[in-house]
Structure formats: C-alpha cells, structure tokens
C-alpha cells in the first residue's frame, strides 16, 4: 500500500532513432498530467533517471486526457540542466503517447521553450517537425583550445556556430578522413571542460561528409550524406548517442554544402542511430526515426 502523500505517475524508458532495444538514444518520459512540480523537483527526477534527457509531458488543462488530447506541454532536462530543444526525447514522448497510451491522434503538438513542435505518425516511423537552426562561419583561432580538445590532431575543414539552439559549435573535418578514424576519435573531456567558451551552451557537433571512399555507408552499402558526433560535457553529456536537435543545425549547414534538402544521416556514437532529415524551406526541418519502448512503470514524484 502506498504511503499517505505519495503520488505516482507513469514513467517510460524509450530508445529513440532505433528499431531495436538498447540502440539509439534512451530517454525517460514522465507523464505529469496536471501535476505542478518545481524546476528543482524536475531536475532531481532527471538526476535520478540519469538519462541524457528526461522528458516531462503535462496537460494544458484538467479537462485534457493523455488518451485522446493532441496538444501538450513538454520540457526536457539533462542530469545537469534544462535544455531548449531535444529531438530524441520529443520522439520518445510521441512514442509513449502513440505506442503505450494508444493515443489515436495522427499528429501531436508539443508546446516547448522552442515553440510548438509536432510529431506525426509515418508508417513505422515518427516524423518530427522542428525549427531550422542556421549557422554562421567562425574564426578557428577563437576556439582553438576547445577544437583541439575535441578532435585532437584531426584537421578542420570548416567551422560554424549556431546561437539559436543555445549555442552549438559545428566542426567539419575533411572529406578524406575515414569513418574508422572518425569513430575512433576520443575527445579530451577534461580539456573540453577547461577550454569551454562563453558562447558554447549546448555542445560541439563534429561532422564528416559521407562517401563510399571514406566508408560512410550503411550495411547495405548505401551512402550516408553525412555522419556526426555530438559532445556536451558541461551539461553532463560527454557524448550524446543520437541528437535530434543537432540535426536541425546539420540540415541547414549541409543543405548549403551539398545543394540538396533531403539527407540520410548517421550519428556515430557507440549506440548509434540513423535519421532521415528533410529541410523544408519554410524554416522547419522534418526528422524521421523509429523508437522502441524498453521499460514501463511508475515514479513517485
């Protein structure tokens, strides 16, 4: 029997951007309903969950229902802080409502710190409708210590910065670097922490143009348009497995570089994930992926 004063709400762990358990990027999804919790309490729950992000879904009014409503409030917390935008935890949130709660809506709307985000059913996939985040060229000298700590002796081909997602530095390495070299790259996390730049809030994206020659192909031999890795040690994420928000930055950058708007991409972390990305031309990016429910339960809030 629950003790007096305890309040239990649904909690799920969902692996996003994968079709198999224990791949992609895991997120905890907590259905708060109309419970009002302090930011400190939400942060404590995120620390307890110890995932790259914990998503909190709230009803907009007491009359709303997780089973039938289609518009909710959504917030994301890492174990260290709240974030402005998180793609994989948004995908996981939609999966919790679509696959566990059995919400029949064809599209869900999430009200967030980055505006309204949308999640649509797309066959076996969920398609996220997120804001495009543009980049600006940067002077490499300004970030030289941080870059060296992140990519070591690998050279830099291009350097851009995106302020609209809280501060992402995008480092492109030369096309001649192989996928093997890229995946074996080991950032100096302590060095990154020491070299942290005031403008960098959300992390460092390292990206490589895909080609058959450099080994950036899938198991069927299909070439990825680009691959990436994402590091954010100052937010408690030495390396994020699959980062949906980073692909709103990457889509904008690679559209300029490749002259196309649809991309087949891979994030090359240990867990890894595959994404289908489309830059729409209206300031929005569609990111399509799969998700797997791994754990269902309740948490005492």
Active site residues: 53
What's the CA gap between 193 and 196, in Å, rounded?
5
**Phi then psi dihedrals of residue 284, to 5 deg:** -125, 155
**Phi then psi dihedrals of residue 167, to 5 deg:** 115, 85
Instruction: Please name the residues in contact with 79: beta carbons below 8 A apart, sequence gap of 6 or more.
Output: 46, 47, 49, 50, 51, 236
CA dihedral 54, 163, 235, 250 (to 10 degrees): 70
Nearest to 85 by CA among 184, 232, 216: 232
* Helices 244-258/87-95 angle, 10° precision: 120
């Amino acid at each position: 029997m629950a003790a007096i004063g305890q309040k239990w709400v649904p909690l799920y762990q969902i692996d996003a951007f994968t079709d198999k358990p224990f791949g992609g990027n895991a997120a905890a999804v907590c259905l708060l309903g109309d419970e009002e919790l302090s930011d400190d309490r939400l942060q404590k729950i995120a620390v307890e969950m110890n995932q790259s992000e914990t998503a909190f879904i709230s009803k907009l009014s007491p009359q709303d229902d997780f089973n039938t409503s289609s518009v909710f409030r959504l917030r994301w917390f890492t174990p260290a802080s709240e974030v402005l935008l998180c793609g994989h935890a948004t995908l996981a949130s939609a999966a919790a409502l679509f696959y566990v709660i059995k919400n029949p809506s064809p599209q869900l709307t999430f009200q967030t710190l980055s505006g309204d985000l949308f999640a649509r059913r797309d066959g076996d996939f969920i398609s996220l409708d997120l804001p495009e985040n543009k980049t600006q060229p940067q002077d490499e000298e300004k970030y030289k210590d941080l870059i060296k700590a992140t990519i070591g002796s690998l050279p830099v081909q291009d350097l851009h910065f995106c302020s609209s997602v809280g501060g992402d530095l995008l480092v492109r390495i030369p096309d001649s670097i192989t996928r093997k070299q890229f995946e074996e790259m080991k950032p100096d996390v302590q060095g990154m922490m020491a070299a942290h730049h005031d403008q960098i809030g959300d992390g460092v994206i390292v990206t490589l143009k895909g080609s058959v020659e450099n080994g950036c192909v899938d198991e069927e031999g299909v070439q990825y348009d680009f691959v990436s890795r994402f590091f954010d040690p100052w937010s408690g994420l030495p390396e994020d497995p699959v980062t949906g928000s980073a692909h709103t930055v990457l889509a904008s950058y690679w559209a300029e570089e490749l002259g196309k708007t649809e991309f087949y991409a891979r994030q090359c972390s240990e867990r890894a994930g595959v994404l289908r990305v489309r830059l729409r031309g209206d300031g929005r990016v569609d990111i399509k992926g799969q998700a797997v429910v791994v754990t269902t339960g309740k948490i005492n809030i």
